[in-house]
Amino acid sequence: MKQRIISALIALIIIIPIIIHGGTLFNVGASLIGLIGFTELLMAKEKEKKLPYIVKVLGVICFLLILVSNFDIVKDTLIENLDRISTSILLLITPIVFYHKSKKYDIEDALFLFGGAVFLALAFNNLISIRAFNINYFWFILIITTLTDTFAYITGYLIGSHKMIPSVSPKKTWEGFIGGTIMGTFTATMFYLRIFNFNGNILFLILIVMLLSMIGSIGDLVFSAIKRHYEIKDFGNIMPGHGGVLDRLDSILFVSLAFSYLSLFI
């Protein structure tokens, strides 16, 4: 527990000033964290099967290609996101022809790399876009995910007795899920009302925030399922006691993508 607290404090001391500063510093920092997350996913895959080096390089290239699609350095380019995704498909699926005989790289591996690269790149790109648009929206999704996760743990620890999906996450309970959703929804809704001077339908806002809170919990379970599949405890150890990038940011990646769409309705 002491190690977890120290790691969390160090991370906050480093990350919060970068979030507040924004701009190029935040963009570069988020990109590096995203790249670490993608390499964690590759290492998880290699617990099951070693991938050819050139294929992993192509995966990283595709990840970066999509990640930087809205950065200032490429904002005037004619290449749009769809073209980048199409290029990624070609780069990652074509090699199966050359590795067909040796079975070192097949269509399942290609789809894994493509799906992982596109999902993580779009999610981190989205975080960067949200921060650039309005830092308060960034704090908003952080509050949702952090409070949901924190109170899910507290509630589950105190009164949790009904397991959600023990084969995926043995410690998560329905009581924790409900407690985390309630507190995450309440706190984030209060923040939104105070910061954005919301004048719309409050009940509809609560429903949207509740949905985002639940999506964050689902994101956590999705990455837990990936870890169970590859029989690993954590994706990495970048934060001692907390695991890797994907262990810490699983919920926020899902919420950031969902928020970009659901924000149109509030």
Could you report the per-residue pLDDT of 42-97, keeping only the tens digit for each?
Answer: 999 999 999 999 999 999 999 999 998 765 433 443 345 677 888 899 999 999 99
Mean pLDDT of 176-189: 96
Cα–Cα dist 155/160, whole Å: 6
Q: Are residues 113 and 92 in contact, defined by beta-carbon separation less than 8 angstroms?
A: yes
Tokens of 42: 């590759």
Using CA atoms, how far residue 100 sits from 103, 105, 155, 199, in Å, is: 5, 7, 50, 59
Instruction: Look at the chain and report how many structural domains it folds into.
Output: 2
Half-sphere exposure of residue 100: CA atoms within 13 angstroms, side-chain side: 5
Q: Is residue 9 part of a domain?
A: no
Q: Are residues 8 and 239 in contact, defined by beta-carbon separation less than 8 angstroms?
A: yes
* Backbone torsion region of residue 233, taken as left when φ is above 0, otherwise alpha when ψ lies between -120 and 50, otherwise beta: alpha
Instruction: Judge if 164 and 141 occupy the same domain.
Output: yes
Count CB-CB contacts under 10 A for residue 192. 22
Instruction: Judge if 117 and 150 occupy the same domain.
Output: no
| pLDDT number for residue 11 | 72
Q: Is residue 47 part of a domain?
A: yes
Instruction: Judge if 104 and 213 occupy the same domain.
Output: no
Q: Is residue 164 part of a domain?
A: yes
Instruction: Judge if 49 and 66 occupy the same domain.
Output: yes
pLDDT, averaged across the chain: 88
| pLDDT number for residue 238 | 78
Cα–Cα dist 163/177, whole Å: 10
| pLDDT number for residue 81 | 67
Instruction: Judge if 202 and 262 occupy the same domain.
Output: yes
| pLDDT number for residue 199 | 85
pLDDT above 70 coverage of the chain, percent: 91
Range of the domain at 175: 134-266
Instruction: Judge if 144 and 104 occupy the same domain.
Output: no
